Structure 1
Amino acid sequence: MAVVVPAHNEERRIAACLRSLRVAAAQVAPLPVVIVVVADACTDATAVLAARGGAHVVETRGRNVGLARAAGVERALELLADDGRHAWLAMTDADTTVPAAWLTHQVARAAEGHDAVLGTIRLAPTITADALLRARHDAAYFRTRRSHGAGAGAGAGGAWEHPHVHGANLGVSAAAYLRVGGFAPLTTGEDRDLAARLTATGHRVARTDRHPVRTAARLRGRAPGGLADLLASLCPTPAPPGIPTGPDGAEVDCVPTPGVPGGGKSVREVPVRNL
């Protein structure tokens, strides 16, 4: 089994990500788990910290998440050698932490005959994720959940066949991954592209809310058109100047508009395909 984590200037979050992955890996012992971090065009200490955290590190310069994920999978299959084609590949992001049972759930779905698993996310409480912003995101994110009788909240779901695809919470058998050609060299949407090809070629895909991951709710992300852009569109007003930011402006406050309840862009204006 392998976990692949693309990272661009994530020195502030990679350690927490790897800690959570080590806990999840311990839950599937004695099944061996290889963790590969792809440090893509990093100018900080991401690669050093990832190696210190026990990951195999691949360094790329493309600033392209599709290429980074593909490079990580290639390295993982090399490390797994003859067992590679029969392996399970789990994907997450460097700004994300996974629950202890994350890999256990994926292994169970694979044992049921699924070729891929598409999981869900929750916004991690950060400086950018104030209550209003998180509520707006969740209103759109969970709007299809009522029809499955699970309610619209962010708690553990039942059989919600959600419409989302996240590289931060994805698993696929190596055989299915190779059959459809792997990740395309896309700067964004590489996860949705892979899922679409798996579905179009008749692979069995499980969409589950049983093992959500927690991902950073920041307004300036690493890939265009991703979660950060969505959250920025839901933010009532731009962040005021002078607020401290991390690499690439990773931490920018979302400040509610004074005196305007629910001011800003409505979640109804945000298409589900962007979530």
Structure 2
Amino acid sequence: MTADHTPGRVTGADGPAPVPAHGPVRAVGVLVPARDERDHVEACLDAALTALARLPPEIVTALCLVVDRSGDGTGAVARRAVAAHGHTRTTVDVIANAAPLRIGEVRNLGARTLLRRLHPVAPERTWLLSTDADSTVGPDWAVRHLHLADAGVDAVAGGIELDGPGRLGADPDPSGCARPPVPDLYAANLGVRAAPFGEVGGFPAVVSGEEHALLDLLRRAGHRLVTGADIVVRTSARTQGRAAGGLADLLRERAAERPVTAVEVPAADGG
């Protein structure tokens, strides 16, 4: 699979994606922030480790769960889940943060831990994946991200599927004018090459929307991005979230506008 064969919108440098001069990806890290997620974290870790196990054996893999100011025993549940999984190939770090960090800073804490673990693989050949503790990735999640990375893409944003009733997207307002669409960018399904990630300073220190802010920096720097990629992660449809301004707040706003009972998945742009 290449970027040209994957549904999604390609932005960045003009022309077809170049074959990376630095060679294919040889290290993959998954970062997951978690706050009071004891009910979801086991399924999240099991799915992420299963996805990493699908990668070729020559690829070094690591996972970092950042337990952010959690008071429900998320870290202990996570450590038991990792031990029960029995996947020894991937190095797993479960680290705790007690400082009042913004979500962008929390993700950067995980990213720095991963880069230390994946050293000495060059940043140009290292792919960082981001998901959330209330989400479960598919078995082919990491493999499909790497197909795009090895085609010369520097960042990939995939879609999400809700695990219960909820609504994404927008409806026409009463005047008949279309409301702006909800951008299909989610930190629960994001991949970025470590070199450009470091070049732009990682995730901006924002309280929400860190995925939008990061991709905006990468786009401005001229890196090649794929948004709306046909790679889907299943995530919680809860309307009471852990971070202000996150997906839960969006779903609560949509539910207040028009309650629905069917799961809606954002359509990928053609490109």
TM-score, normalized by the shorter chain, greater than 0.5: yes
Q: Which amino acid aligns with 1:232?
A: R
Aligned position for 1:58:
95
User: Which has the larger share of strand?
Assistant: 2
State whether structure 2 residue 202 is matched by structure 1 residue 182.
yes
Identity %: 36
Highest relative contact order (Cα 8 Å, sep 6+), 1 or 2? 2
Contact residue 184 and residue 228 of structure 2 kept, 8 A: no
* Separation (CA, whole Å) in 1 of partners of 2:241 and 2:183: 22
Aligned position for 1:105:
144
2:246 to 226, 230, 236: 226
Q: Which amino acid aligns with 1:80?
A: L
State whether structure 2 residue 160 is matched by structure 1 residue 88.
no
Name which of structure 1's ranges 18-27 and 51-60 shifts more when overlaid on structure 2. 51-60
Distance of aligned partners of 1:114 and 1:263 in 2 relative to their CA distance in 1, 3 Å threshold: closer
Contact residue 24 and residue 101 of structure 1 kept, 8 A: yes
1:27 to 28, 33, 54: 54
Aligned position for 2:25:
none
Name which of structure 1's ranges 55-64 and 92-101 shifts more when overlaid on structure 2. 55-64
What are structure 2's unaligned runs of at least 5 residues? 1-27, 83-91, 172-181, 261-271
Displacement of 1:223 after TM fit?
1.4
Aligned position for 1:12:
39
RMSD: 1.9
* Separation (CA, whole Å) in 1 of partners of 2:238 and 2:81: 24
State whether structure 2 residue 32 is matched by structure 1 residue 2.
no
What are structure 1's unaligned runs of at least 5 residues? 142-161, 238-261, 265-275
Q: Which amino acid aligns with 1:224?
A: A
Contact residue 60 and residue 118 of structure 2 kept, 8 A: no
Aligned position for 1:140:
170
* Separation (CA, whole Å) in 2 of partners of 1:263 and 1:81: 48
Name which of structure 1's ranges 95-104 and 184-193 shifts more when overlaid on structure 2. 184-193
1:38 to 46, 51, 66: 66
Q: Which amino acid aligns with 1:211?
A: I
Contact residue 40 and residue 64 of structure 1 kept, 8 A: no
Contact residue 64 and residue 185 of structure 1 kept, 8 A: yes
TM-score (norm 2): 0.73
* Separation (CA, whole Å) in 1 of partners of 2:130 and 2:169: 26
User: Which has the larger share of helix?
Assistant: 1
2:110 to 53, 69, 72: 72
Distance of aligned partners of 1:263 and 1:182 in 2 relative to their CA distance in 1, 3 Å threshold: closer
SS at match of 2:64: strand
